[in-house]
Structure 1
């Protein structure tokens, strides 16, 4: 045991020193928070939202180790320890080893902290945090840091999970939210837990939910973290509602970014009013020249064709039609299944043509 008391330590931890595990806290099945200290008593300095890379034993792998990155879920306002929260996927190697083997007193090598995904230094005063699954970890770090520093919080905190029992940090977040009006928690689940009623949001995150959860979303700085398909859906929803995407920030928990040069280009399809498209209504023999910002439903009506419709914003599914050629940009709100999309169906009310498109009308 090191003789230097952490209470008088002044040095900042450097990654040349191994980390010592001090606690393992189960969060949910296959998920735990691992807290570490510096054996020297050094303190941790980092920005909320950054990540660590751990060197983890992996028998059978080249070199006997694997390197895995984990977002830091603790806050730099609590510098005596540092915590990562890890969820094991079915094919996990490193995280699986940690869950099965890592115990207090054991030491691991770590690199970092690093990463650009942080609200530290942001000029914004109103934030919208959107996450899915373990993508909640950087949001927890940023929220805790603002809380500890006594900032006047104005955060809408949205997290999506499979079930209510799989919402990581739910109790800790609710505890903070119960003591300030500035932390507005919104949870979305795919399905409720058996025999436990759920009165919150249910389904896939969409534009309608966004408008209900954060009516002033246009005024907020957005931070998003989760699987790429989830972040793509969030970007589509925001862009479709006219959000200034220069105020959108994201981090994939599968591939955190360390430098500006590593920042991926977001090559999202955003319909352009100046770009022309063509819709061929093959059954009717009608062709319409339109802008990309026009919907298939709008083009059909302007051409004197009738496509049955109801809500006109991708919920009811009434306007589902078969697309036989070309591509559309569709941002729906739950009115069509993934199986139907795979089979070539679209919702005419929320589909914008990209180039030449044929539909069976």
Structure 2
């Protein structure tokens, strides 16, 4: 009986410990995406799954909780039609108590009823929005990101030419605000400005365009910057222009040292806060079969068979892209080609230019 009592007592103690042991599970980091129709996902066919905040959630994983608080047509300025602070999305954003805020507002402030009359309020209204969102957070020091406005390419849409100048002023103003508050700027402009095929009406990104925006946010929020990447033009067999400074650029982790070894010399630069890096190497004379190494603390890229000579850019329409092998007697012409010093880089087409939509 004594043994049974002891076993029973031990069982009670173990059960008590299991019930009273505190949980050490970490709460999810809350990310509030504040914005207008671009954030909301207007014109996206499968908006519920393909808007950029939803795709951002998939990229960041289970340790984050992303909320979409975009409202179509919302203005940042508190006067004029449809101010963001008067929307239901804004109230829900305050109740979300986010740890991180990503703000993309300003496109709709180009409305003639807004910018010409209330532009002097833009900065103070932006500061007020930041301060109110900050006060709503349960985090002692919430993080903010301001997005550089996505491009406006569709002049056939409701954006008339006269508002483009106001758009430029708003971009400049939001960048100034970010600088004054020491807030990082996420670039929503560059990924889309050369991709009109990803803007359904010249303004709103489709699902693939939203993917690009989600990637830009994930770099900062989830620290998903690449270890080291180069544009596709920098590859084995490339030709660099002789007698001109050699421009190299790419992406890596922010504030990372980038080291280059070329022609027996070593160079280095440092990435900016947005992960971009750029450097000019001294001009060189004609060379052949050289090698270059570009590296960071996390990754190394080795490029072989580099030539230094003359670079010619050939552009045009379908006749320029027409391959020689498809022409009459093309195969024979290829067989007779013996000049191994000619290298061709054929740029892959991002999207068709014959838009019939």
With the shorter chain as reference, the TM-score category is: under 0.3
Which entry has the higher C-alpha Rg, 1 or 2? 2
Higher strand share: 1
TM-score normalised per structure 2? 0.27
